[in-house]
Structure 1
Amino acid sequence: MPHCILECSPEILKHCDQQVLMQRCFDAAISSELFLPEDIKVRIQRLENQKIGETALTQLHTEVKILDGRTVEQRKHLSKKVLQGLHAYLSETGLTQVSLSVEISEMERASYSKVIF
């Protein structure tokens, strides 16, 4: 845990190195000091269609799924770290007109299942 899911508009993916984008998210999760590196999973989902109000904004929304039990302060800290890490990278690429957001969602520990084989 966590699962970091980056939902990106095509415009963002055109201007970014996807491996670097994922690494920045990974590094931000590590910097939160809430997880071990081997527990962090990051993936990108391309948004084929999107609409943000009546604007020309592109979008990067990151959902970070974590097991329940973290405090509000820990979740807020994680959200800020991921937002800062991704914002820094997107700024380096020269992108503008981006809607960047981070959502922390909790998964119920009692019902989460996983196997590695």
Structure 2
Amino acid sequence: MPHFVIDCSENILTLQQPDKIIQEVHKCAVDTGLFDETDIKVRLNPFKEHYLIGGKKDDFIHVFANIMEGRTTKHKANLSKQIVTQLKFLFPTIPFIAMNIRDFEKATYCNKDMI
């Protein structure tokens, strides 16, 4: 935990290497001081077809963050701002770059090490 899932148009991968995108999101998450670096997971899902942005096929990046509950709204807002700022720097011509954060409930979270 946490998980950062990056959905994007496939064309994004012609502008930057996938590993570069993943590393930059990972670094931003580490730099906030909210997470242990070894706990951060980042995945990239490029979409070639089957998407619309404002009714047309336009390039986009959207990061979905799933984190354990307990961080303040201020911490989460800073995390979003830092990641979107870095993505905007890497992709200055991309018209849509956004992020949202969802909290996991500690009481209902389970992984294999907890069993």
Q: So what's the TM-score if we normalise by structure 1? A: 0.87
Alignment match of 2:109 (pick from 109, 112, 115): 112
> Would you say the 8 A contact 1:31–1:81 is kept in 2?
no
What CA distance in whole angstroms lies between the structure 1 residues aligned with 2:110 and 2:73?
A: 24
What CA distance in whole angstroms lies between the structure 2 residues aligned with 1:15 and 1:62?
A: 17
Aligned to 1:84: 85
Aligned to 1:15: 15
User: Percent same amino acid among aligned pairs?
Assistant: 29
Structure 1's unaligned 5+ residue stretches are none
- What is the RMSD of the two structures over their aligned residues, measured on CA atoms? 1.5
Q: CA deviation at 1:41?
A: 0.4
Deviates more, 1:46-55 or 1:96-105: 46-55
Q: CA deviation at 1:57?
A: 2.7
Q: CA deviation at 1:98?
A: 2.7
What CA distance in whole angstroms lies between the structure 1 residues aligned with 2:112 and 2:90?
A: 33
Task: Specify the code of the residue in structure 2 equivalent to 1:110.
Answer: A
Aligned to 2:66: 65
Q: CA deviation at 1:81?
A: 1.2
Structure 2's unaligned 5+ residue stretches are none
Q: CA deviation at 1:72?
A: 0.6
> Would you say the 8 A contact 1:68–1:109 is kept in 2?
yes
> Would you say the 8 A contact 1:30–1:36 is kept in 2?
yes
What count of residue pairs does the alignment treat as equivalent? Answer: 112
Q: So what's the TM-score if we normalise by structure 2? A: 0.89
> Would you say the 8 A contact 1:56–1:97 is kept in 2?
no
